[in-house]
Every structure is written in structure tokens, then in C-alpha cells.
Amino acid sequence: MQAEPVIEIKKLTKIYRDFWGRQKVRALNSLSLDVKKGEVFGLLGPNGSGKTTTMKCLLGLLFPTSGEISVLGRPANDVEKNERIGYLPEESYLYRFLNAEETLDFYGRLFKISAAERRERTQQLIEMVGLKNARRRQLKEYSKGMTRRIGLAQALINNPDLVMLDEPTSGLDPIGTREMKDLIIQLKEQGKTVIMCSHLLADVQDVCDRIAILYGGELKELGNVEDLIQSKEQTCITSTELPDEAITEIDAILKKYNAEKISVEHPSTNLEELFLKTVQESIDRPGQRFVPANDGDKNQEPVSTES
């Protein structure tokens, strides 16, 4: 059985207009996708592709021009659903004169969490993000990595079912990046659904189950990471060691040298190459858009539609 969708977006279009009501920017164009319960979903795209607009529509901060959005079984404009959402923006706007404990206690009060539960969750989250030794230092003394970690803890203070992360590894060094990715995987293991935007494609490839690539406000690719980065144009045959003269042969040479055929598979590219290829194809063929398959139709390919 497939997991139930936590987010459902159907033909979402968002048009920004100028003072006179004339169309200025079509930020999203008939976007349709869903996010399943318990998965880590990556939302990718170059600047101006519609990622931030999508996130704001999911949070109810923007109203779509047309289309439907359901988040946690409720319309996106239902503010009560946000009590079950944790959000880490690209830049965390935290009170720099507070320390970690005071910060989490403050945001816990906003969610009307009891004092006893606030204390318990504060200590759990500080331990989880690795700030136990700095819990009483003011945030203005924190490094970039420490600020991102306390920002993540703040996003989790309400024990959300859905966690939305905007550039979670932005500005982090390799160690901080690895720690943040481990935390994201830990959230998945706890049964939470995570949707993340990132420009760091290797990070997305490491933690995401599925991805969507946007370009010009349109969905260009959608699917499992491993399936999308697999190269369908090539077949890789792995065998035991062969002498140099056998390399130019194929099946016959395997039999000739009594070599064991280990596997036949499609070699994978990487997410960065897929991303750049998708963007270039979008530039070359602007009318092509990915349309998710209907239930039962697993082999539907991207179709050409008018923007």
C-alpha cells in the first residue's frame, strides 16, 4: 500500500500582477505533485523557478491564482494546520540576545505548550541538535552552523508532523552539513515528513527519497532519486577480472575466458548532472512540462504543453 499524501498540489498557478492588475510574473504554471507521509522530498530548481512561491503557498502565506492545495488534509489557507508544521527559513530570524533554552521556551509559549512539556522538549531538542554545551550562550555568539541547528530545533518545538526546510545546509562547513543531513534522516526515522529546498544537489541526493525539479514555474521532473539519475541509454556489465585483450569483446569473450557475469544494470549519473540536463532541456524546449501519471499509469512520459 502506498503511503497517504501529506501534501497534494493540483494544477497550481500563481501570477503576480502589477498595480494596475496586469500580469507581471507567472511564478507557477499548472503545478501538480504530492508528498507522501514519512518521506523526504526535495524541491529543486534555479533561482526564479517557483520554489519559494510553492513553499509560501503551502504555508498559506500566498494565495494561488488557481488550483488546489491540501496540506495535512486541510486547505492551505486553514491556519490551524500550521500548528502541525515546522518551518526553517533560509535565514532564521531569531532573537540574538536570547540563549538556546530561552529561544525554545519562547517559541514553545507561542504554541501554548505547558511549562513542563516546554522544559522537556527544550532539553531533548538541544541534545538532538548538539548544542548542549552552548545552551546558555547568547545566539549572537553562535557560528553559522550553530545558528542553523538552533533554527532547526525551533522548527521542531511543536513536534510537527510536517517539516519544511529552506536551504538547511546553506553556509555550513562539511562537518556541519553532514550533521544537518544526519538530523534530517533522524526526522524521517521518527516518522516525520520532510520537504526541503536546496541548491546543494549532493545533499539532496544523500537524504531525499523523491525530488521535483522546477523551471520557469513548471514541473520538469518528478520521481525517485535513484530512478531519475539512472542512465537508461547505457548498460553496464560487471564481470570478474579479464586480460586487456578481452575488453573489446562482449558476451562471447566472457565465455572464452570463463569469466563470471556478476551483474547487468543501468549505471547512474548523479543528481547534479540530471538537474543541469533538465534545466538545459527546459531552455531548449520551453513548451515541455512533466504531467504526473494518473493512478495505474506508471509509464507516462513528460508531455509538450503550452506555457
The predicted pLDDT at position 307 comes to 44
Cα–Cα dist 246/127, whole Å = 57
* 5-95+157-230+268-304: CATH number: 3.40.50.300
Cα–Cα dist 93/190, whole Å = 26
Contact indicator for 41, 165 with CB cutoff of 8 Å: no
Helices marked H in the chain — which ranges? Answer: 51-59, 100-110, 115-128, 144-155, 174-189, 201-207, 225-229, 251-256, 271-284
Mean pLDDT of 22-48: 91
Contact indicator for 239, 251 with CB cutoff of 8 Å: no
Dihedrals φ, ψ of 300, to 5°?
-70, 135
Annotated domain spans of the chain: 5-95+157-230+268-304, 231-267
pLDDT tens digit string along 238-267?
Answer: 767 767 766 666 677 777 778 776 666 766
**34 CB neighbour count, 10 Å cutoff:** 17
- Between residues 182 and 293, which one has the greater pLDDT? 182
pLDDT tens digit string along 143-166?
Answer: 888 898 999 999 999 999 999 999
Contact indicator for 228, 83 with CB cutoff of 8 Å: no
Residue 140 C-alpha cell reads as 549572537
Mean pLDDT of 163-187: 87
